[in-house]
Amino acid sequence: MPDHGTEVELIRVEGLNRVYAQGPIRVAALRDVSFSVPRRAFVAICGPSGSGKSTLLNILGCLDRPTGGRYLLEDVDVGAMNDDALASLRNIRIGFVFQSFHLLPRLTAQRNVEMPMIYCGLSRAERARRAAGALGAVGLLHRAAHRPSELSGGEQQRVAIARALVNDPALLLADEPTGNLDTRAGEEVMDLFAELNGRGVTVSVVTHNPRVAARARRILALEDGRLVADGPAA
């Protein structure tokens, strides 16, 4: 494991296992994965499909619990938390960006960005103020009143990034964020991640696209559920 010296640790994963039981068949999606990620890092998680990277992302994003090993987010053992505590953690500590954006089509960009704040009880005025700030940060304030269908793919993904950022998370998790975008829009999204990382946001991107992975400062490579490489991007 690379030495991160005195950097403050955000994520610590120790001997992580995730086994899916489908009737009598048991599929190990993650086998004994261990690593740690300091704050302000920009990590790419790479690997072919079926390598377990989505499973790892779900666990890091507190959507799923490991069946073995430990996952500590900001020194707290996530595996011991109940569903509501995990939901709160996702709400205020984690921002998700998905391949297919996952915006609600009937809501405007502004209202989509406001959505996470509904679940932490912020007032209407505060939600509107923060959503406008987040949309400004991704350069889309002028599109606030548009619905997703009126936005380009790149714009939709930037709205989704604004939604992920709006509760000021410790960790931004992206799952193939450029997978549904053309090259230029993809580059713009990655530029945005780099910029956010430069401003101090910890970013973790799951991808099988080497060009995307190359934008990260560190690459974790998975194969058959095992961590097979961990090093700085080429």
Partner 1 sequence: MTVDLRETVTLALEALAANRIRSALTMLGVVMGVAAVIILVSLGAGARTYITSEITNLGTNLLIVTPGKTQLHGGLHPPGEDTVRKLTYEDAQTLKRRATLLKETVPIVLGSGRMKSGNTSRDTSVVGVTPEYLPARNLRVALGSFFSQEDVEARRPVAVLGHKVRLDLFGVDNPLGRFVTLADARYRVIGVMEPKGMSLGFDIDNTAFVPVRSAQELFATDRLFEILTSVRSADGIEQATAQIREILMRRHGNREDFTIVSQGAMLDVLTNVVNILTAALAGIGGISLFVGGIGIMNIMLVAVRERTREIGIRKAVGARRRDILGQFLAEAVALSLMGGTIGILLGVGTARLLPALFAYVPTEVSAAMVALAFLFSAAVGVFFGVYPARRAANLDPIVALRYE
Q: Which is nearer to partner 1, 70 or 102 (CB)?
A: 102
Gap between the Cα atoms of 103 and 77, Å rounded: 30
Q: Does 23 bind partner 1 (CB under 8 A)?
A: no
Which of positions 52-111 make contact with partner 1 (CB under 8 A)? 58, 61, 63-64, 83-84, 87-88, 90-92, 96, 98, 102-104, 106
Query: Is the CB of residue 133 less than 8 Å from the CB of residue 163?
Result: no
Q: Minimum distance between the CB of residue 231 and partner 1, rounded to whole angstroms? A: 29
Gap between the Cα atoms of 228 and 191, Å rounded: 27
Which of positions 119-148 make contact with partner 1 (CB under 8 A)? 119-121
Q: Residue from 8, 27, 118, 145 that binds partner 1 (CB under 8 A)?
A: 118
Q: Which is nearer to partner 1, 119 or 191 (CB)?
A: 119
Q: Minimum distance between the CB of residue 184 and partner 1, rounded to whole angstroms? A: 26
Half-sphere exposure of 200 (CA within 13 A, CB side): 4
Q: Minimum distance between the CB of residue 59 and partner 1, rounded to whole angstroms? A: 10
Q: CA triplet 175, 180, 192: central angle to 5 degrees?
A: 65
Q: Two tokens at 95?
A: 């921002």
Task: Tell me, letter by letter, the H, E, C secondary structure of 49-116.
Answer: CCCCHHHHHHHHCCCCCCCEEEEEECCEEHHHCCHHHHHHHHHHHEEEECCCCCCCCCCCHHHHHHHH
Q: Which is nearer to partner 1, 55 or 215 (CB)?
A: 55
Q: Which residues contact 123 (CB under 8 A, 6 or more apart)?
A: none
Q: Which is nearer to partner 1, 52 or 218 (CB)?
A: 52
Q: Which residues would be at the binding site for partner 1 (CB under 8 A)?
A: 58, 61, 63-64, 83-84, 87-88, 90-92, 96, 98, 102-104, 106, 115-116, 118-121, 163, 167
